[in-house]
Amino acid sequence: MKVSARNQFKGIVKDVQIGAVNAEVHITLAGGETIVASISKDSVDNLGIKSGLEVVALIKAPQIIVVTDFGGYRLSARNQLAGKVTAVKPGAVSAEIDIELKGGDLVAATVTNDSAESLGLTVGQTATAVFKAGAVILAVAG
């Protein structure tokens, strides 16, 4: 599959919770991390989403927020994937930050150069990739 989203995670559907309009799909990654996607009930039906199905979760890099210190706060964003910074690639305006998860998956985030600097992002640093369940697009083979 060729798509512009830098973040493409293969995983297995662990659980599907159907609501009145939308559904929450819980996907387990190779390292044991969980990604939660919020998609429409129609999409669940059209894609044949069910427990045990292999899916690909797509998240565009600008949708990822990089957190280095929660300062005692909790966030409403369902997806919070902790790892280590493996790359800080500054550009003219923005930087790409790569965070490696314990299972080896890489999360790519784009933040402004100012944000990367103010967070003091360096290779080897612990960081958490945060994104809302609504930012996740699911793909299935077929």
Stretch 16-40: mean pLDDT, rounded? Answer: 96
- Per-residue pLDDT tens over the stretch 45-103: 999 999 999 999 999 999 999 999 999 999 999 999 999 999 999 999 999 999 999 99
Q: What is the pLDDT of residue 101?
A: 96
CA angle 102, 5, 94 (to 5 degrees): 85
pTM of the model: 0.94
Q: What is the pLDDT of residue 1?
A: 82
Stretch 1-20: mean pLDDT, rounded? Answer: 95
* Residue type at 13 in one-letter notation: V
* Residue type at 46 in one-letter notation: N
Paired tokens of 2: 């060729």
Q: What is the pLDDT of residue 142?
A: 80
Q: What is the pLDDT of residue 95?
A: 97
- pLDDT bin (cut points 50, 70, 90) of residue 121 is very high
- 129 forms beta bridges with 66, 81
Q: What is the pLDDT of residue 67?
A: 98
Stretch 12-36: mean pLDDT, rounded? Answer: 96
127 contacts 121 by C-beta, under 8 angstroms: yes
The full set of domains in the chain, from first to last, is 7-139 (2.40.50.100)
Paired tokens of 89: 């690639």
Beta-strand (E) ranges in 65-136?
Answer: 65-67, 79-90, 94-101, 106-112, 126-131
